[in-house]
Structure 1
Amino acid sequence: MNILKQTFIRLLANFTDNESLKMELWTEIEKNYSDKKRHYHTLEHLDNLLIRLMDVKDEIQDWDALLFTLYYHDIIYDALKSDNEEKSAELAEKRMKQMAVPVEKITLCKEQILATKSHLKSADSDTNYFTDADLSVLGQSWENYSLYAENVRKEYSIYPDIVYIPGRKKVLTHFLSMESIFKTDFFYRKFEWQAKQNMQKEIELL
């Protein structure tokens, strides 16, 4: 059993003994993130996120809520729609209610998923760790960053360059105009400088 599935099943075991429900919910996650239209928002993305968050696990206040956020934050993803985060948060709430997850965890999970829409600094430190981990791909080596940028382009392949390029530049410029891309000291020190270099370079190449 891979670490992603194992971690999910273990998480669900904290809230339900229903084995068939656990497998059903994992299968839904696996199916959605393996959709052929996805090139970046995949199981590999979840895997990378889990690795990044494990690095800061000791800093996290509510690990279970954060794991639900991880698995559900991109469960609904359609490049043509602008309400993916809202739809993902709704589905997360529905699934968590099936297992009687406490309401405060559900609320936190939904807020964290919605925070990935703007990646602004939150008053909640767990949320900042999550959005930082979500953006950590920006601060990888240029080789890895280029692959990420290519995969994002593939997800938006329905749009011609004349539409995609200005939109992509707008997103990158938005991040570069932030006081800091990463909101936590850990991720800031690790990725901020490289992320800015990468995004600047991508803008120049577009």
Structure 2
Amino acid sequence: MLRETFVELLANYTGNTQLINELWAEIEKNYSSKKRHYHTLQHLEHLLKQLQEIKGEILHWDTIIFTLYYHDIIYNSLNSNNEEKSATLAEKRMRQISVASEHIERCKNQILATKSHAQSPDSDTNFFTDADLSVLGQDWSIYSQYYQNVRKEYFIYPDFVYNPGRKKVLHHFLSMKRIFKTDFFFGKFEEQARINLAHELAIL
């Protein structure tokens, strides 16, 4: 489904099948890295499923799907500029297939928004960042697998270094008036997300 959706997306902009296949291969390779445990193709599949539920609410569907595929294409747990690097690569690839500049800028802004998941004046961005956080509101069995996979991505850090940082993240979310900015995701995931975050915090 991921590959088919990507091919259909790019077919709107180029008839170069070889280029489309090369760009998909790059995405598949990056998201399948052995160093990744959460930021994987499965994460993209989950995001796509969440966004398809609200496709009618999205103003710029093509753009948000570009954002989906490229928002974590560059990911290294040691670096703090993954979003910036991902946005830069997204721009490069979108220019290769002649996507309009306004859509490229919108995509880049959405990718950068995943750094803080803050409220945006752009509704599509809020839908995307909420979808990106939707794992927080899944059943505990899924959420527990998520936070364990995140821990694996930071395996180089011992617990005495990792745990305080993770607690800071959990406290940050729990202190927010609303974790989810859109009414759709708020109603669907807010309550369970707070239960999950508090539970993980208690375990740490």
The bucket for the TM-score relative to the shorter chain is over 0.9
Task: Give the aligned partner of residue 73 of structure 1.
Answer: 71
1:24-43 per-residue CA deviation (whole Å, 9 max, x = no partner) reads: 00000000000000000000
Among candidates 138, 142, 156, match of residue 158 of structure 1: 156
Among candidates 179, 182, 189, match of residue 180 of structure 2: 182
Separation in 1 of the partners of 2:53 and 2:131?
A: 10
Q: Once the 2 structures are TM-superposed, how far is the Cα of residue 178 of structure 1 from its aligned partner?
A: 1.2
Task: Give the aligned partner of residue 44 of structure 2.
Answer: 46
Separation in 2 of the partners of 1:142 and 1:105?
A: 37
Separation in 1 of the partners of 2:118 and 2:174?
A: 13
Separation in 1 of the partners of 2:174 and 2:193?
A: 9
For 2:199, give the aligned amino acid: K
Task: Give the aligned partner of residue 54 of structure 2.
Answer: 56
Separation in 1 of the partners of 2:170 and 2:89?
A: 29
RMSD over aligned CA atoms reads 0.4
For 2:150, give the aligned amino acid: V
Among candidates 126, 129, 140, match of residue 127 of structure 2: 129
Task: Give the aligned partner of residue 141 of structure 1.
Answer: 139
Q: Which moved more, 1:25-34 or 1:168-177?
A: 168-177
Among candidates 194, 200, 203, match of residue 202 of structure 1: 200
Separation in 2 of the partners of 1:160 and 1:180?
A: 31
Separation in 2 of the partners of 1:45 and 1:77?
A: 13
Separation in 1 of the partners of 2:91 and 2:176?
A: 31
Task: Give the aligned partner of residue 109 of structure 1.
Answer: 107
1:92-107 → structure 2 map (5 Å cutoff): 92-107=90-105
Separation in 1 of the partners of 2:154 and 2:126?
A: 27
Separation in 1 of the partners of 2:165 and 2:95?
A: 37
Separation in 1 of the partners of 2:20 and 2:122?
A: 29
1:91-111 per-residue CA deviation (whole Å, 9 max, x = no partner) reads: 000000001100010000000
Task: Give the aligned partner of residue 169 of structure 2.
Answer: 171
The runs of 5 or more residues in structure 2 that have no matched partner are none
Separation in 2 of the partners of 1:17 and 1:166?
A: 50
Alignment partner of 1:191 is 2:189: yes
The number of residue pairs the alignment matches comes to: 204
For 2:189, give the aligned amino acid: F
Separation in 2 of the partners of 1:4 and 1:33?
A: 12
1:42-75 per-residue CA deviation (whole Å, 9 max, x = no partner) reads: 0000000000000000000000000000000000
Separation in 1 of the partners of 2:177 and 2:94?
A: 35
Task: Give the aligned partner of residue 84 of structure 2.
Answer: 86
Task: Give the aligned partner of residue 118 of structure 1.
Answer: 116
Q: Give the share of equivalent positions with the same residue, in percent.
A: 67
Q: Once the 2 structures are TM-superposed, how far is the Cα of residue 196 of structure 1 from its aligned partner?
A: 0.5
Q: Give runs of ≥4 in structure 1 deviating > 4 Å.
A: none
Separation in 1 of the partners of 2:100 and 2:71?
A: 18
For 1:19, give the aligned amino acid: T
The runs of 5 or more residues in structure 1 that have no matched partner are none
